[in-house]
Structure 1
Amino acid sequence: MQSKLLRGTFILTIGTILSKVLGLIYVIPFFQIVGREGTTLYQFSYVPYTIFISVATAGVPLAVSKFISKYNALEEYAVGRKLFKSGILIMLVTGFMAFLIMYFAAPTLAEMSTQGKKANLEDVTTVMRAVSFALIIVPFMSLIRGFFQGHQSMGPSAVSQVVEQIVRISFTLLGAYVVIHFFKGKMVTAVSVATFAAFIGAIGGLLVLFWYWYRRKPHLDELLAHDKGTMDVSLKEIYKEIFIYAFPFVLVGIANPLFQAVDQFTFGKAMAEIGIKAKAANNYFSILNFESHKIVIIPVSLATAFSLTLVPSITKAFVEGERNSLNHQLNQTFQVLLFLTLPASIGLSLLAEPVYTAFYQHDLLGASVLSAYAPVAILFSLYSVTAAILQGINEQRFTVLSLLVGLLIKLSLNVPLIKAMEIKGAVLATALGYIAAIALNIIVIKMYARYPFRFVWRRSLLIVIFAGIMWIGTKLSYKFLLLFLSPASKFNSVIIIVVCALIGAGIYFYLGLRSGLARRLFGNRIDRMMDKLMLPRRRSTGETR
């Protein structure tokens, strides 16, 4: 049973990571097709859509799977089926309501996003309405994924996620290309097709889930036949429990889109007040909220996914009152997060110019924004993990407070800082908001988990030193390569990135291996890697927490 659970978790993790990677890589060809004008329109629609979809579905798969798994363990299979049957109807209704709200609120949201020019308003409204159709299907699909996960069947969720992304991305790229190059259509039409792809992708993912349901229904019905039937849980109690499970995940999932929404609704107006024209302001917004943000999220996705795998063991240790185990798990979580995110963020900041060129085009302003924005990835990761830890120690109520405080700081400082520093002002306001939210989360963790941060501070200093040495080596390599290669060329940029990344990663992981830090964080995985590379193992000494 344990091996089945671990295998299922691994499959789901791989599916999630692959889905995220696909969702990041497609921006390269998409930018080449629609340019900055298209990505600006695209982002205007996707930020509100992400908020709607986060509220409608964030946490639903996990909450439903946790609920069904709990009652399946008690052999009360009918309780889970009762949730599933009523949930399908509720998700369809709430999804359709979310679609109607976004569809009819699109003109208002467009007006808040733009500087009021009629052409811009009509275009943004059209694109927002095109993406809103996906809201009808995605909540319904999330419930089915949660149902399968609750039965320890992770394959359907993983495969449907990947298929959904492949269908969405294919339709996005092909649709936009055909509209522009074959039909010589308008940009707004191309971007509308690209955003409508979310609906088409959702249909693809849903068909996969239907296929799995057809294949596995006999087995599910067999389980239902062995139901004990000793418990009769009311729908009110069911949905109360689901809400308690899902609410923290909604807050964590919605945090980043809300910060982006603050930029969307204030950026253009703040830039207009300092004399920046609407077209230029829209270009700047695309650089910040689409182009740079898509790249910055890369290290966040990988590091957070790895760190969050440790959270269930944190919950177990806290519930059972195992203080030493809890401290060990928290130490591991924070160290793994910093060990993976810090060098990636620093490297991204250093290589911002060739990275931006490789993804989009050579643009010194874009590279400058990416360089400033990259370190904020560390804050994104820390917020997600500290919020998850709060749930693990059953103090998720403070997630609401920390998110509200962070958003209040972002709202208060965004316009003044944009006026003072233009795009980088918005980046700084985001950083300050996240710092405040993380600080509150850490205070709560220290108070309620009685967790001493001294060890993590010391170990963090060691990681910072290693990252600093890596930065020096990568910087020297970068300067040397610039003697022969130009970051203005896409091909040259790729070579610069690959060489510098290999040198930087080599330095950083060598220091991690020689110090024994990597082995203490990743255990047998490092031993297996060293054996494959035929490297001598070094015994870990000193602190082993």
Structure 2
Amino acid sequence: MQRQSFIAGTSVLIGASLITRILGFIYRIALTRLIGAEGIGLFQMVFPLLTLILTIVTFGMGVSVSKLVAESVVTGNRERIRRILVTALSITLTLAIVLTVGMILFGHFFARYLFTDPRAYFPFITLTPIILIIAAASVLRGYFQGLQIMSTPSVAAIIETLVRIVAVWIIAFLSLAKGKGMEYAAASVSGGMILGELAGCLYMYLIYRRKIRISNLPLPPYTGEPEPFTRTLRAMFEIALPVTFSRFIGSIAFAVEPILVTRSLLMAGITTTLATRMYGEYSGMAIPLLVFPTVFTYSLAVQLVPSISEAIAAGQEKLVERRLYQSFRVTALVGFPTSLILLQYATPLCDAIFHHPHVAPLLAIMAPTGFLLYLQGPLSGILQGINKAGIAMRNSLIGAAIKLLIIYFLASKPAIGISGVAIAVAASVTLTTLLHINSVHRIIGFYVDALDTAKILAATAAMGLFTHLLWINLSAVPLSTALTTAISSGLMVYLLLLVMSGTLTSHAFTRIPWIGKRLAHFIKYIPFSK
């Protein structure tokens, strides 16, 4: 078993997440052009309800397994790891069977009374087989993360994305070619997801069976007393229940959102078809652009739970504080420039990628809160790692409630419409993240290097000015070329300024797996670099 350091594990997760996010983005673009905003809207209408069901099925066991396995590795308690894995699989698979049957029995009821468009029944019922697969995959993923072996779930995610893209594209194309209708094309997205999740889950299981079975783990000898099953179960539930409830509330809000949005738009005088299309543009175009940078901070959040749990089990309080500062710094390095780019280039991005430039105002409303959104994941991971998942749950509940209230009051007004949803997202993100910051500060402190943060902000501002001047001189160039040139040049300037100011050093690059030493070699040739 080859465990990975915090930086190495995070880098592997970021690399894999970046690959899957880029592939997913390409897939999203192609799918949007194939089935249109209406088809995307039909699928997005059912996806929040599926998310709610999956929240119940997985029952927070991924996080629970990750945290408790990390603690057990420190003490060498092999039997506890085995018991955690078996118990987690038993709970999730039992819930999966029950809820799969429920989806099949009540599919028509959901289509008639919950979805504003009856055609949503087809993509919804097609998704039923995915529940069992994701239930098993969540536990396996938590096991590998608890061992801090991030390469296996990362490769599984890439396999899942590749299989899903190919399957969705083929099934959707055949559905439209045979004239089956938009509802069948939307259902093809469900079919592709099932095949992708199955491929990723099978890969993790094969790696577990062949290389990283519990009996093969190189653990230190365990000298303590055997832990009673009831104590192990209680420890699992102490983590799983707050995480599940937090996700449950978020999933309810997510499930209610398309219903509330479309009905509010109907109250504003918009037709059902147009409301479905507008929600598809918001959820399938503006939101994916906004959350794209979470590829970096989500990886941090995943790595933080076992890393902090292990540090606490070993009594290393200073390491917990260090992980917090590293998380904020990485989020600032990524979040500041990407939030500015999304705001500055909202219209050309929506035009070049989706051919829907009118979606840009929604993105522009949400973009300024991008940094706070990207910080939510690491802060939530820290709270879960220090056994304060209940606090993270409370903060998320408050943010979700505020979001739904603002959607109801604003989206139903004809003068605001769908823009009210974007305003609600911005307000909810801001409130939830500030509550997380306050909670972490009260429990372990929240140290921020003011000078370091100021340098990152200054480099971001300089990048924005440079790209603005460059964009003016690219008016005669094709849109996609101009956009690629401006953003890539701006990011290069941003990186150079960070290196020249000493914010990033050559030593920092050496810690990146595979390519770090080569990058560090080139960094030394930049003036004023360290």
Shift of 1:244: 2.9
Cα offset, 1:539, TM superposition: 5.9
Q: Give the letter aligned to residue 463 of structure 2.
A: M
CA contact (8 A) 1:103 1:128 kept: no
Q: Aligned ranges for residues 418-497 of structure 1 at < 5 Å?
A: 418=411, 419=413, 420-452=415-447, 455-456=449-450, 459-482=452-475, 484-485=476-477, 492-497=478-483
Structural mapping, 1:68-83, within 5 Å: 68-83=69-84
Structure 1 residue 46, shift from structure 2 partner: 1.5
What letter is aligned with 2:370?
A
Query: Could you tell me whether the CA contact under 8 Å between 1:267 and 1:285 is conserved in 2?
Result: yes
Shift in Å, 1:200? 2.0
Is 2:198 aligned against 1:203? yes
Q: How far did 1:234 drift?
A: 4.2
Residue 79 of structure 1 deviates from its aligned partner by: 3.3
Partner Cα distance (1:416, 1:280) in 2: 20
Tell me how far apart the structure 1 counterparts of residues 523 and 220 of structure 2 sit (CA, whole Å): 51
| Residue 145 of structure 2 is aligned to residue 184 of structure 1 | no
1:132 and 2:122 aligned:
no
- Pick one of 489, 492, 511 that aligns with 1:503: 489
Displacement of 1:538 in angstroms is 2.6
User: 1:309 Cα shift?
Assistant: 4.5
- Check whether the contact 1:51–1:258 (CA below 8 A) recurs between aligned residues: yes
Match runs of 1:62-461 below 5 Å: 62-111=63-112, 114-115=115-116, 120-121=117-118, 123-150=119-146, 154-181=150-177, 183-216=178-211, 220-221=214-215, 231-247=225-241, 249-250=243-244, 257=251, 259-306=253-300, 309=303, 327-361=321-355, 363-418=356-411, 419=413, 420-452=415-447, 455-456=449-450, 459-461=452-454
Cα 1:227–1:96 shift into 2, 3 Å:
farther
Q: Counterpart amino acid of 1:499? A: T
Q: Secondary structure of 1:276's match?
A: coil
Q: Does the aligned pair in 2 maintain the 1:64–1:146 contact within 8 Å?
A: yes
Report the CA distance between 1:266 and its aligned residue: 1.1
Distance in 2 (CA, whole Å) between partners of 1:172 and 1:21 is 16
Report SS of the residue matched to 2:388.
coil
What is the deviation of 1:293? 1.1
1:512–1:518: 8 Å Cα contact kept in structure 2?
A: yes
TM-score normalized with structure 1 length: 0.84
CA contact (8 A) 1:379 1:431 kept: no
In 1, the alpha carbon distance for the partners of 2:38 and 2:522 equals: 48
Secondary structure of 1:137's counterpart equals helix
Structure 2: unaligned runs, 5 residues or longer: none
1:531 aligns with 2:525: no
SS in 2 for 1:421: coil
Match of 1:60 in 2: 61
**Contact 2:301–2:379 under 8 Å retained in 1:** no
Letter in 2 for 1:299: P
Shift of 1:324: 6.5
Corresponding letter in the other structure for 2:404: L
Counterpart contact for 1:103–1:132, Cα < 8 Å: yes
Q: What is the aligned-residue identity percentage?
A: 21
The alignment partner of 2:127 has SS state of helix
**AA in 2 matched with 1:129:** I
Q: Deviations over 1:454-509 (max 9, x none)?
A: x44x5444433332222122122223212x13xxxxxx332122101122112222
Partners of 1:45 and 1:131 within 8 A in 2: no
Q: How many residues align?
A: 523
Q: Distance in 1 between matches of 2:270 and 2:490?
A: 39
How big is each residue's C-alpha offset from its partner over 1:210-257, in whole Å with a ceiling of 9 and x where there is no partner? 43344348x655669999797544443333222334456546766765
Shift of 1:413: 1.4
Deviates more, 1:54-63 or 1:313-322: 313-322
Alpha-carbon distance between aligned partners in 1 of 2:284 and 2:253, rounded to the nearest angstrom:
13
Note the alpha carbon deviations across 1:431-467, whole angstroms, 9 max, x for none: 11121212222222222223355x44x5444433332
Q: How much does 1:84 deviate?
A: 3.3
100-109 vs 278-287, which moves further: 100-109
Amino acid at match of 1:337: T
Matched residue of 2:97: which SS? helix
Aligned-residue offset at 1:3:
5.8
Secondary structure of 2:293 counterpart: helix
Q: Which amino acid aligns with 1:481?
A: L
Structure 1 residue 312, shift from structure 2 partner: 6.0
Shift of 1:359: 2.3
Unaligned runs of at least 5 residues, structure 1: 486-491, 541-545
Instruction: Assess if the C-alpha contact under 8 Å between 1:39 and 1:290 holds in 2.
Output: yes
Q: CA RMSD in A?
A: 3.5
Contact 2:410 2:420 in 1 (8 A): yes
- Which secondary structure state, in structure 2, belongs to the residue aligned with residue 466 of structure 1? helix
Deviations 1:10-31 (A, max 9, x none): 5555444433433333101111
Alignment of 1:24 with 2:14, yes or no, is: no
| 1:262 to 1:504, Cα distance in 2 relative to 1, 3 A | farther
Distance 1:299 1:210, change over 3 A: closer
Contact 1:382/1:438 (CA < 8 Å) preserved in 2? yes
Find the residue that maps to 1:132 and give its secondary structure.
coil
Q: 1:496 to 1:137 in 2, by over 3 A?
A: same
* CA gap 1:14/1:531 in 2 versus in 1, 3 angstroms: closer
Contact 2:78 2:214 in 1 (8 A): no
| Counterparts in 2 of 1:105 and 1:304: CA distance versus 1, 3 Å | same
